[in-house]
Structure 1
Amino acid sequence: MPTAETRARASLEADTWVVIPLYNEAQVIGDVVRDLTPAFSNVVCIDDGSHDGGASNARAAGARIVTHPINLGQGAALQTGFEYALERGAKYVVTFDADGQHRVVDAKAMLQRARDEELAIVFGSRFLDDRTKPGFLKKIVLKTAVAVTNFTTRTRLTDAHNGLRVIRADALRRIKLRQDRMAHGTEIVVQLGRTGLPYVEQPVEVIYTDYSRAKGQSLLNSVNILIDLIIR
């Protein structure tokens, strides 16, 4: 029988959905979902045309699954997740990466801050403290991407391409992502900035492992972000 604490948490988090774009992360997605579910009762993975069985692992760990028959890109997966959450009455969405680089404790703190300060958007930033160790060259490339994003979007962020965010429903309804590659990270900042709704950045730690680097957190991937920003 659920305890009073469990019932209270379920009631508090019933208005929040964690949205995870999922593409070929069978090795780690089960652990990612299992780490989330004690803190968040609603987790949905958007299986973006995976072919490695990751969706089954996520479902077994407790996530809901929405499937794209073919790979449409992370932007499209996020948009599908936003619509799914809004259709189920979400007041907040937490965007969370599938490769294990984000920390649940950071997501919880960001959500609590959004509630306490009545914020529409809380962006996670790996550059507001010194816990994250991206490496010298990667840091330069990411910082350059931030500068380009801030210039083109008229925002003042320190980490424009961090996948950990909390977004309130009124902001979510104004997002229509069309960029399917890494440029969606800038696109979402542009669209959120245009809402005029209150936002802040929150210090978070990004965990770089051999696995996450191999799956897309490499220096090459950071360069690809810059290329997408230039050509979009």
Structure 2
Amino acid sequence: MVQGHKPIFAVIPAYNEELTVSMVVHLTARYVDHVIVVDDGSADRTAEVAGYAGAEVIRVDPNRGKANAMKIGIQRAKELGCGIVVFLDADGQHDPAEIPMVISPVLHDDADLVIGSRYLVDSDETPRYRRVGQKTLDYATNLGKNLKITDTQSGFRAMQCSKIDCRAFKSDGYNVETDMIHYFLERGLRILEVPVSVRYDVPHKHKKNPIRHGLSIISHIIGLISYRRPLLTFGVPGFFLVVIGFLFGGYVFQRLVYDGVFHYYLLMMVAFSIVVGILLMTTALILNSLIMIVKMEL
């Protein structure tokens, strides 16, 4: 759509969105050169409706999750010579009219990945339970990073196609937004946020239980942090367990010397705390050494 630039593609993962996908495709087509809808095993007429609306439709059967659908869309866009790819949800929550604003930093080479954030402009439209859950996920994702992202789970984002290798980008299900951030950060690429609006009065809303969905993402994030930052994940808790163990151990010794009272169960807890703490710190040092060796070899 912009002269002198490679084509701009939209990739829209969809699952049972026959009520909204046509509208999303029509509105999106105004701002991009090509629309790809990846129908992730829908049981309704999502693929048929998206095709009538003018999108290229890729059908996946059975359902394999959002991450797989997005990677399929990225790979197809790259095959067709894509320069920039923008992602939107098929449920109508995102406003395609904001696509120019989302892709602008990528077009002007100010960012490699742009995330549309619901929270850069304060809004009361976000349901309270979702805002609390979102902030928790943001904090977990940002833990240990210099870059602070306000909307880590936003599905409205754009990036340079050349900056991602689908073979190296590992992700599964609804963890894709978090994994994409880690992928870009690991490679020293630039991430920027821009403000976007979101509608919550859509037909299907979120398809997964929000509590189960949030816990799944948090457990995945903890796994990522454990792998990449073992000193933070294992070393810090281990250190505090050892300190707490010695403090209570001193208390047990003091009561024994001055009062003649021996706290047997408390002493067992002290021993357990110190042993587990030392094991955690040892694990952290070993894992950190292995990571350093791998990085040196790379």
The alignment's TM-score, normalised by the length of structure 2, stands at 0.68
**CA separation of 1:222 and 1:159: change in aligned 2, threshold 3 A:** farther
Aligned to 2:262: none
**CA separation of 1:152 and 1:24: change in aligned 2, threshold 3 A:** farther
Aligned to 1:50: 42
Contact preservation (8 Å) 1:124, 1:204: yes
Aligned to 2:161: 169
The answer to whether 1:224 aligns with 2:216 is no
Aligned residue type for 2:23: D
Question: Residue 170 of structure 1 aligns to a residue in which SS?
Answer: helix
Question: How far is the alpha carbon of 1:173 from its aligned partner?
Answer: 2.6
Distance 2:124 2:106 in 1: 23
Distance 1:77 1:174 in 2: 11
Q: How big is each residue's C-alpha offset from its partner over 1:95-149, in whole Å with a ceiling of 9 and x where there is no partner?
A: 1100000011222111122212432111111010024611222101100000001
Structure 1 portions without partners, runs of 5+: 1-8
Question: Residue 182 of structure 1 aligns to a residue in which SS?
Answer: helix
The answer to whether 1:125 aligns with 2:117 is yes
Aligned residue type for 1:221: P
Distance 1:200 1:58 in 2: 30
Distance 2:176 2:143 in 1: 16
Contact preservation (8 Å) 2:105, 2:111: yes
Contact preservation (8 Å) 2:113, 2:159: yes
Q: Structure 1 stretch 84-93 or stretch 221-230: which is displaced more?
A: 221-230
Aligned residue type for 2:141: T
Question: Residue 105 of structure 1 aligns to a residue in which SS?
Answer: helix
Question: Residue 108 of structure 2 aligns to a residue in which SS?
Answer: helix
The answer to whether 1:71 aligns with 2:60 is no
Aligned residue type for 1:229: I
Larger radius of gyration: 2
Aligned to 1:189: 181
The alignment's TM-score, normalised by the length of structure 1, stands at 0.86
- Choose between structure 1 and 2: higher helix proportion: 2
**CA separation of 1:178 and 1:71: change in aligned 2, threshold 3 A:** farther
Question: How far is the alpha carbon of 1:70 from its aligned partner?
Answer: 0.9
Relative contact order (C-alpha < 8 Å, sep 6+): which is higher?
A: 1
Distance 1:63 1:205 in 2: 24
Distance 2:20 2:5 in 1: 24
Distance 1:132 1:54 in 2: 32
**CA separation of 1:13 and 1:182: change in aligned 2, threshold 3 A:** same
Contact preservation (8 Å) 1:181, 1:228: no
Question: How far is the alpha carbon of 1:206 from its aligned partner?
Answer: 1.0
Question: How far is the alpha carbon of 1:171 from its aligned partner?
Answer: 1.7
Aligned to 1:102: 94
Within the candidate set 157, 180, 193, 2:149 is matched to: 157
**CA separation of 1:210 and 1:38: change in aligned 2, threshold 3 A:** closer
Aligned to 2:52: 60
Aligned residue type for 1:224: H
Contact preservation (8 Å) 1:153, 1:190: no
Question: Residue 91 of structure 2 aligns to a residue in which SS?
Answer: coil
Distance 2:127 2:115 in 1: 21
Structure 2 portions without partners, runs of 5+: 224-298
RMSD between aligned residues = 2.2
Aligned to 2:83: 91
Q: Structure 1 stretch 163-172 or stretch 127-136: which is displaced more?
A: 127-136
Question: Residue 137 of structure 1 aligns to a residue in which SS?
Answer: helix
Distance 1:194 1:139 in 2: 27
